[in-house]
Amino acid sequence: MDEHNAAPEGPEPQLRLSPPPDATTRADPPPGWYLDPTNLVALRFWDGASWTAHTSPIPPPTSAPVDVGSKTASLAAMTPDMELAAAVAAEATQVAEHAAQAAVAAVAAAREAALAAKEAALAAETQTRVAEDATQVAANAAQVAQQIDQAVSMALATNTPASWRAAAQLAVTLGVRATDEPKP
């Protein structure tokens, strides 16, 4: 460590378990060494009110005995933050689950809408075909009626058994029931 960044008097730097102070914490943590918010591979000293110019490399892990009491106290100080984080995470999970359910419902609704659209298109196509067929049948019926009218007119004009037989034959050919020919 250079003299400009010399550590304050006291024990060797040890990383604190509580979070570093920032705008989101409710209370400032006690003085100590924390991860440097501007350099996450170094420690920076927090004097209880603000960051100091004192930095230190992160010490290597040690297998030395750990003061469980101070760690427990630090963990206890973190408990409200951890509870808040857990509550926020639980709420975020619920929101994500609801969003996923809404997405599944939206996909199902889209599939149903697509199926309904296909069915409507098929029904419209069928109706168009039926209308075209009906138009053709009406045109054919008009032709038949015209031919029958011509045959009847001819039979009436000539009023002969042969003309009536021709009219009856035309009616049979066209699928219309022939009436009895009149007696001359």
Q: Which residue type sits at 5?
A: N
State the pLDDT at residue 123.
92
Residue spans of the domains in the chain: they are 1-64, 141-174
User: How high does pLDDT run on average in the chain?
Assistant: 74
Distance between CA atoms of residues 49 and 28, nearest Å: 7
- Exposed e or buried b for every residue in 120-155, given b needs 16+ CB within 10 A? eeeeeeeeeeeeeeeeeeeeeeeebeebeeebbebb
Q: Which residue has the higher pLDDT, 12 or 56?
A: 56
Q: What is the pLDDT of residues 90-124, one digit of tens each?
A: 777 888 887 888 888 888 888 889 889 989 999 99
Q: What is the pLDDT of residues 41-78, one digit of tens each?
A: 888 888 888 889 998 888 776 665 555 555 555 555 66
Token pair for 65: 């005995």
